[in-house]
Structure 1
Amino acid sequence: FQDYHGLLSFRTAMAGFMEEIRGGRAKFDPNRVVLTAGATAANELLTFILANPGDALLVPTPYYPGFDRDLRWRTGVKIVPIHCDSSNNFQITPKALEEAYNTAMAMKIKVRGVLITNPSNPLGATIQRSTIEEILDFVTRKNIHLVSDEIYSGSVFSSAEFTSVAEVLESRGYKNAERVHIVYSLSKDLGLPGFRIGTIYSYNDKVVTTARRMSSFR
């Protein structure tokens, strides 16, 4: 059998494609790429790795309705909403992050991470660089993780409109990159519905190793 987490040649091609659609502004190491059966499997696998049953992920609203299935059904993990509104184009604010975190704490729920979609599903809006920086600062202070679902990263009018968390990490020389994980899939950007090729890209060695070990079950 070949490696369940993907042949090196394919992982190299995937890393190169992820760099290309980001305008070459971020680099991706094929050895940190773990292939999955689509983004759904990637998000669920990361949830299994990062959280225990009863823990929570903070997710900005409005969010993709499928997350209620993908993140919760088999993992036992809860979703605590980060309430966003139209007054600032649904950008995530430090105040909204703190309120969501405090809501979870009040319910005695341990928060394991923040999950964002960038560009957003269902809104299509992109997250501003300054907002990504604020989220990175937040997860560092709280000692939690950031999952950035970037499956629509190639479906913007101009690559300059989209900022990947990978770009921010490289430009800032971020020292806590092991908290950051990216989800990507080919089906949306290539217009191939049902083409189950997803990717976990993690800056955390332990997450990469665990995802590889669990990839045969995806």
Structure 2
Amino acid sequence: MAAAGLSKRGAANVDAILPSISAALLERTKPTAPRIDLSTAENWLMRNEIIETTKDAIVQELKPHHLSYPNEFAGDADLIRALAAFFNKYFHPHIPVEEAHIATAPGAATCLNTFLYNVCEPGEGILVPAPFWNGFDWLFTARSSAVPIIVHVERAADTLTPQLIPALEKAYRESSIPVRGLLLTNPHNPFGQCYPRTVIEDCIRFCNDKRIHYISDEVYALSTFENPELSDAPPFVSALEIDVTGMGCDLSRVHTFWSTSKDFGSSGFRVGCSITQANEAMHVALALASNTETSSLSAVASTALLTSTRLPELLQVNSERMWEAYTLMTNFLKKHQILYIPVNSAPFLFARLAPYAESWEQEKAMIDRLKQAGVVVSGGKAYHVNEDEKGWARMTFALERTRLEEAIKRMETVLGEKSVD
């Protein structure tokens, strides 16, 4: 890549991602029937309602001043005001969220990227419990040159339990690079469940003891639904809800991230935000990097959603539709005796589609067979599952019923076979 005139950093990024991009582009140009994408974590169940609300907002609320840059240092003033009210209503913060705590950016990933840039020197790391969203691999490195330090609990199923704490201690102790923080995705991706309050508190204490940052990725906070399979599951608890100072911990090292992408099924709007309640310097750093990057059209649309009198109703309808879609998918998995992890807080689930896989190649073979049948899912290897947990895949179920039924029909041609290894 040196001949292309790129910096060493740019060349390293391109070298790392070009093979996968090239493969993806090749796939898109193949003359085959369109595949149904179950690999992308998007919620399609409320799109008509979201469009209706945001269309009206654009018509009625778009003003001449929206053609200018945002009117506040941390983003559009109306959007930030709406976000503060939204968090105070739905996230039950111990300390009320103020407008001065919020900085906006085009998506939660951009918020996190900016945070990493301001916390990590190149080559420094953030602890991330596995399995975790495969996008963190490139997100950490592309701009900030930070490193995700993978934390494995002995049994992946214990990642959301107190067993996480000794695993964090071990990873911190054995890290060969400086550790600057701990990133927890809550609700969890790809497990689709929530961390218990006690585990969150223990993680904050751990960070306080090590004098590192606690980073809470809460993009699925309201993507919840009642699931009888998880009748005793802990509810969602935001980091904002924790009495951090009452625990004797440093609130300036606790940060929360959210976006409209998942809970509002609007990832194309590119609206996210960070909440830092006791660290003015960090707030300024986050705002400075991306305060003019969120589109005014997206700000108007998102403000309309956040302030809509219909929002409680929309969230309830979304929960009901997610449960219906989840039931449709899990009935199919049960029919074929395929193990899956029950979820109640995500538009996807983790299933062991290749239960007899003894190698990553065998896992990939299953993923490829599904792709040939016209369905795209994400293999477990990409989420850094434990070495002895091969054969898993993440599948999104929050699709329109007709498209989900077609996906299941196509998967039937593969998973309905006697051998699924």
TM over 0.5: yes
Which of the residues 162, 177, 187 maps onto 1:119?
187
SS in 1 for 2:182: strand
Which of the residues 25, 41, 46 maps onto 2:115?
46
Pairwise CA distance, 1:27:
2.5
Alignment of 1:153 with 2:153, yes or no, is: no
Greater share of helix? 2
Describe the shift of the 1:216–1:9 C-alpha distance in structure 2 as closer, same or farther (beyond 3 A): closer
CA contact (8 A) 2:74 2:291 kept: yes
Separation of aligned partners in 2, 1:195 and 1:129: 31
Which sections of structure 2, spanning at least 5 residues, go unmatched?
Answer: 1-68, 227-233, 294-421
Q: Give the residue type in structure 1 aligned to 2:257.
A: V
Q: Give the residue type in structure 1 aligned to 2:282.
A: V
Q: Which residue of 2 is the match for residue 187 of structure 1?
A: 261
Pairwise CA distance, 1:7:
2.3
Q: Which residue of 2 is the match for residue 201 of structure 1?
A: 275
CA contact (8 A) 2:92 2:241 kept: no
Q: Which residue of 1 is the match for residue 142 of structure 2?
A: 73
Normalising by structure 2, report the TM-score.
Answer: 0.48
Describe the shift of the 1:66–1:168 C-alpha distance in structure 2 as closer, same or farther (beyond 3 A): same
CA contact (8 A) 1:55 1:78 kept: yes
Q: Give the residue type in structure 1 aligned to 2:272.
A: G
CA contact (8 A) 2:106 2:271 kept: yes
Separation of aligned partners in 1, 2:292 and 2:79: 19
Q: Give the residue type in structure 2 aligned to 1:154.
A: L
Alignment of 1:64 with 2:139, yes or no, is: no
Describe the shift of the 1:135–1:55 C-alpha distance in structure 2 as closer, same or farther (beyond 3 A): same
Which of the residues 290, 303, 311 maps onto 1:215?
290
Pairwise CA distance, 1:88:
3.0
Q: Which residue of 1 is the match for residue 165 of structure 2?
A: 94
Which of the residues 155, 158, 163 maps onto 2:237?
163
Q: Give the residue type in structure 2 aligned to 1:152.
A: Y
CA contact (8 A) 1:42 1:183 kept: yes
CA contact (8 A) 1:57 1:114 kept: yes
Q: Give the residue type in structure 1 aligned to 2:109.
A: T
Deviation string for 1:15-68 (max 9, x for gaps)?
A: 111222225766211111000000110110010011110100000100000001
Q: Which residue of 2 is the match for residue 176 of structure 1?
A: 250
Describe the shift of the 1:19–1:171 C-alpha distance in structure 2 as closer, same or farther (beyond 3 A): farther
Deviation string for 1:56-91 (max 9, x for gaps)?
A: 000010000000111122211111111133443643
Describe the shift of the 1:171–1:74 C-alpha distance in structure 2 as closer, same or farther (beyond 3 A): closer
Taking only aligned residues, the RMSD between alpha carbons, in angstroms, comes to 2.1
CA contact (8 A) 1:46 1:211 kept: yes
Separation of aligned partners in 1, 2:104 and 2:292: 12
SS in 2 for 1:161: coil
Which of the residues 128, 135, 160 maps onto 2:203?
135
CA contact (8 A) 2:93 2:241 kept: no
Q: Give the residue type in structure 1 aligned to 2:103.
A: V
Equivalenced residue count is 214
Which sections of structure 1, spanning at least 5 residues, go unmatched?
Answer: none
Q: Give the residue type in structure 1 aligned to 2:179.
A: V
Which of the residues 7, 12, 28 maps onto 2:97?
28
Separation of aligned partners in 1, 2:185 and 2:152: 14
SS in 1 for 2:221: coil
Separation of aligned partners in 1, 2:157 and 2:261: 32
Q: Which stretch of the first structure deviates more once superposed, 65-74 or 18-27?
A: 18-27
Separation of aligned partners in 1, 2:249 and 2:170: 26
CA contact (8 A) 1:19 1:25 kept: no
Q: Which residue of 1 is the match for residue 124 of structure 2?
A: 55
